[in-house]
Amino acid sequence: MTVSIRDLRPADPGDAGAVADLRRTVLPFMISTPAGVVHEVTSAHPAKRYRVLLAERADGLAVATAQVGIAHDSPEPGLGFVNLQVHPAHRGLGVGSTLLRAAEEHLHAAGAVDSYAWVLDGQGDQAFAARHGYRPGRSAHFLRLELSERTLPPYPAVLPPGVELRPASAFADDPRPLYEADAEVSSDEPGDVPVELDDYDDWLAGVWHEPSLDHDLTTVVLVDGVVAAFCAARTDGAGRYGSAMTGTRRAHRGRGLAKLAKTASLHRALAAGCTEALTGNDARNAPMLAVNEWFGYEIRATETRFAKRLAPCGPGPEEVTA
């Protein structure tokens, strides 16, 4: 199939809607909204060299999309990423190969040395990645929980001494304490690309002001007035709740505070009309997997992180199709 590749036009609502639809079709266990798609492009740090690409048929139908850029918040230089979503009805026609080629050319031009990609298990996606020179690494799981009074543990009637629960909206005037907690927790998160959050303004633009981040459902645990743990929540306005990050600062771990934050957040989500909760965990993150198993989350899909050392751009053999 012949397709043309172009950048998403943030001012075109149809573009953002097409990308969100493709993501929901291919990755139904992630929160995706048109407003969020626009925001991730318009708020991206220049050093990220971020692009959202669309693959279109001759009649203008978007059949695939890719997110590509540089891991600018990593202390290791030269790390790039590319994640593809090809509509199931248009696989095996060369669309994925064409889109991947365009994404890798951008990464090479941006100075990337290595390219990382999340690839779903099954459906031939991993074989496609392998044929294009990518090699598998760690895995992560998508989990789902039906939200109801029956499935949730009881809301804590009494909190431990010195412990308070607050929504993130309580920090609207000064979210820096949440940034500091996020930076510490993110640096300890399992992964093959280390993360170092050291730019408050970039965090404000990319995280705090992300349209799907629900400040009322995001729950913060304070211990003696200091942020100790949090559960960041994303919603799509259609009854879906997603855990963006749940974590505890190092000095407060081992006290069940992450479970407390998530319990409160899920109860708030249920009261707000959400009917399903989604989350994702690195397969090696045993503590958080245990917490989610305790809540009743079930693994619904698994993806693997693939990596490739990028070669200089140039003419080569015909790409294999996917």
DSSP-derived pairing of the beta strands 219-223 and 226-235: antiparallel
Which of the two residues, 65 and 314, has the higher pLDDT score? 65
pLDDT band at 195 (very low <50, low <70, confident <90, very high): confident
| Per-chain mean pLDDT for the chain | 93
Give CA–CA dist 139/302, Å, rounded: 7
Distance (Å) of CA 19 to CA 58, 88, 89: 17, 14, 16
pLDDT (0 to 100) of residue 319: 33
pLDDT in tens, 25-36: 999 999 999 999
pLDDT in tens, 87-130: 999 999 999 999 999 999 999 999 999 999 999 998 789 999 99
Judged against a pLDDT cut of 60, whether residue 320 lies above it is answered with no
Judged against a pLDDT cut of 90, whether residue 187 lies above it is answered with no
Judged against a pLDDT cut of 90, whether residue 190 lies above it is answered with no
pLDDT in tens, 61-82: 999 999 999 999 888 999 999 9
pLDDT band at 322 (very low <50, low <70, confident <90, very high): very low
> How many CB atoms neighbour CB 277 within 10 A?
26
Lowest-pLDDT range, 2-6, 10-14, 74-78, 141-145?
74-78
Q: Which two tokens stand for residue 103?
A: 């994404």
Judged against a pLDDT cut of 80, whether residue 16 lies above it is answered with yes
Taking residues 232-246, report their average pLDDT.
96
Count of CA atoms in the C-beta half-sphere (13 A) of 105: 11
pLDDT (0 to 100) of residue 317: 32
Judged against a pLDDT cut of 90, whether residue 213 lies above it is answered with yes
> How many CB atoms neighbour CB 57 within 10 A?
15
pLDDT (0 to 100) of residue 321: 33
pLDDT (0 to 100) of residue 65: 98
Domain with CATH 3.40.630.30 in the chain: 4-141+303-309, 152-295
Percent of the chain with pLDDT over 90: 88
Judged against a pLDDT cut of 60, whether residue 314 lies above it is answered with no
Fold of 152-295: Aminopeptidase (3.40.630)
Which of 159, 232, 192, 161 is closest to 74 using CA atoms? Answer: 192
pLDDT (0 to 100) of residue 312: 66
Judged against a pLDDT cut of 50, whether residue 268 lies above it is answered with yes
Taking residues 204-226, report their average pLDDT.
97
pLDDT (0 to 100) of residue 115: 97
- Quote the CATH superfamily of domain 4-141+303-309: Gcn5-related N-acetyltransferase (GNAT) (3.40.630.30)
Enter the pTM of the model. 0.91
Is residue 69 a contact partner of residue 44, using CB atoms and an 8 Å limit? yes
Which of 138, 68, 55, 58 is closest to 97 using CA atoms? Answer: 55
Distance (Å) of CA 158 to CA 27, 161, 235, 285: 38, 9, 28, 29
Lowest-pLDDT range, 34-38, 206-210, 314-318?
314-318
Taking residues 268-286, report their average pLDDT.
95
Give CA–CA dist 38/85, Å, rounded: 17
